C-alpha cells in the first residue's frame, strides 16, 4: 500500500480548523484526537466538532478516541462523519463487537495500544481490525519526543500481520518528524500521524510532502 500522512489537528489552531485543514491539501487523512480528561489527562473536542469538521473538508477524518467507554461512543463517530475510528484496547470491554459495529456503519475500525501495551495478546483478533495504532508517545499531549522503545513493537506487529496474511495498516502517532519517520517506516509503519511537525511549520503542505518522501525512501 502507499504510505500515508495524517496531520493531527491537535497541533492546529482550533479557532480556524477549516483553514488549517485546507493548508494540507496533500494529506491523506486528517487525524482528530478526542480526549475526555479521564482516560488521558487532557480534554480536547468531541462529536459535534467532528461533525462540523466533516462538513468543512473533503479530507477523510481519522478519529482517535482516547476516552473511557469507547464501546458506547465509538460507533457514533461514524455517524458524525469519521471515516476511520480508533479506540484504545485498554479502555474497551468488547473490542471485537465494537469494531464490528464501527465497520457496519461503513467506517474503518482500528485498535490503539499505549506504549507499554504489547501487541502479542491480541494476535487472534487482528483480523477484526483495519488498522493498528501504535502510540509512540504516552497519549494525552502533543509535542512529545518519539519513544525509541516503541519501534521494535512496530516491527513485531508487522511480523504478526504478515504471518496471518492480513491487509491491516499500522499507524504510528507521537513524535513523528523528519528525524524519526524513516526508522518507523523501515520497521513497517504505513500511516504516520504528525501534529507539531506539520502545523507549526511555515508551509504545512511542504512538510507533508517531505515526510512522505522520507518514509517512501526508507520503505524502499
Catalytic residues: 33, 173
Strands (E), the chain: 4-7, 30-35, 61-66, 84-88, 108-113, 131-135, 169-173, 191-194
Q: How far is CA 70 from CA 14, 59, 76, in A?
A: 24, 24, 10
Torsion sign over Cα 151, 169, 191, 107: negative
> Cα(116)–Cα(210) distance, rounded to whole angstroms?
30
In 81-149, alpha helices (H):
95-104
Which cell numbers in the block locate residue 68? 473511557
Helices 95-104 + 70-80 axis angle, to 10: 10
Number of residues that make up the chain = 220
Helix (H/G/I), strand (E/B), else coil: 29: coil
Amino acid at each position: 500500500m502507499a504510505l500515508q500522512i495524517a496531520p493531527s489537528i491537535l497541533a492546529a489552531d482550533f479557532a480556524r480548523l477549516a483553514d488549517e485543514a485546507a493548508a494540507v491539501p496533500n494529506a491523506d487523512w486528517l487525524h482528530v484526537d478526542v480526549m475526555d480528561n479521564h482516560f488521558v489527562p487532557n480534554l480536547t473536542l468531541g462529536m459535534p466538532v467532528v461533525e462540523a469538521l466533516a462538513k468543512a473538508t473533503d479530507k477523510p477524518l481519522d478519529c482517535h478516541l482516547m476516552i473511557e467507554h469507547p464501546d458506547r461512543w465509538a460507533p457514533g463517530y461514524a455517524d458524525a462523519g469519521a471515516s476511520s475510528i480508533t479506540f484504545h484496547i485498554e479502555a474497551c470491554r468488547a473490542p471485537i463487537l465494537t469494531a464490528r459495529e464501527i465497520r457496519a456503519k461503513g467506517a474503518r475500525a482500528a485498535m490503539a495500544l499505549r506504549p507499554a501495551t504489547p501487541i502479542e495478546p491480541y494476535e487472534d483478533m487482528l483480523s477484526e481490525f483495519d488498522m493498528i495504532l501504535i502510540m509512540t508517545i504516552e497519549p494525552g499531549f502533543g509535542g512529545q519526543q518519539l519513544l525509541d522503545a516503541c519501534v521494535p513493537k512496530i516491527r513485531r506487529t508487522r511480523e504478526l500481520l504478515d504471518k496471518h496474511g492480513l491487509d491491516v495498516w499500522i499507524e504510528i502517532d507521537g513524535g513523528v518528524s523528519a528525524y524519526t519517520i524513516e526508522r518507523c517506516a523501515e520497521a513497517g509503519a504505513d500511516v504516520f500521524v504528525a501534529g507539531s511537525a506539520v502545523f507549526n511549520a511555515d508551509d504545512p503542505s511542504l512538510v507533508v510532502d517531505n515526510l512522505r518522501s522520507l518514509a517512501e525512501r526508507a520503505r524502499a
